[in-house]
């Protein structure tokens, strides 16, 4: 498994160098890569994903009701046309080298609480729901007044948890 983060910021030459491993060749230099998994992470359409999740919420639908098929067209066309991404993404899509576009949906309050509880356990602490709710409540959410989705997901949980435990 190969994971490439922030691929939308990557120099096109890097992708060009691994393209033979993504293509449908049986072997490259005598080695078969047919079972290799390549994961490319990108924020190229973060806003579109957030908007789709928000649209579902506004219709009274749960975030868990969003299906891959609800997002695939949005993600593939945005990746294809994105100004953030480079021509290489278009090339990968045109050549059908991308099997799935999987969105990372914005996290709701309950997900953030779960992150805090998991982080406590990781740090060898007894999970404390009261502390978890305090940490989760301290984060920014959008839309501003409804506070449905976490702006930063769980990225700042570790440092915030440290603050709540030690102060």
Per-residue b or e along 34-73, where b marks 16 or more CB atoms closer than 10 Å to that residue's CB: eeeebebebebbeebbbebbbebbeeeeebeebeeeebee
pLDDT of residue 2: 87
* Residue 85 DSSP symbol: S
Q: Which of 107, 106, 105, 128 is nearest to 116 (CA)?
A: 128
Query: How much is the pLDDT for 80?
Result: 54
Give the model's pLDDT for residue 93: 67
Q: List per-residue pLDDT tens for the chain, 167 residues long.
A: 888 888 777 777 777 777 777 777 677 677 777 778 888 888 777 888 899 999 999 999 999 999 988 887 777 776 555 545 454 565 676 777 777 778 889 999 999 999 999 999 999 999 999 999 999 999 999 999 999 999 999 999 999 999 988 76
- CB count, 10 Å around CB of 10? 17
Check residue 81 and give its pLDDT. Answer: 59
* Structure confidence at residue 60 (pLDDT): 94
pLDDT for residue 82: 55
Name the pTM for this structure: 0.75
Domain coordinates in residue numbering, the chain: 2-94, 109-166
Predicted pLDDT at 28:
66
Say what the pLDDT of residue 13 is. 76
């Amino acid at each position: 498994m190969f994971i490439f983060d922030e691929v939308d910021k990557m120099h096109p030459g890097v992708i060009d160098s691994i393209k033979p491993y993504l293509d449908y060749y049986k072997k490259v230099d005598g080695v078969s890569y047919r079972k290799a998994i390549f994961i490319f992470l990108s924020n190229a359409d973060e806003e579109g994903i957030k908007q789709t999740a928000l649209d579902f919420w506004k219709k009274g639908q749960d975030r868990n009701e969003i299906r891959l098929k609800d997002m695939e067209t949005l993600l593939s066309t945005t990746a294809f046309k994105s100004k953030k991404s480079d021509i290489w993404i278009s090339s990968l899509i045109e050549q059908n080298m991308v099997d799935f576009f999987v969105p990372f949906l914005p996290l709701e309050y309950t997900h953030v609480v779960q992150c805090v509880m998991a982080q406590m356990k990781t740090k060898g602490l007894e999970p404390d729901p009261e502390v978890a709710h305090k940490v989760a409540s301290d984060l920014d959410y959008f839309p501003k007044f409804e506070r449905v989705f976490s702006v930063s997901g769980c990225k700042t949980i570790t440092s915030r948890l440290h603050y709540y435990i030690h102060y």
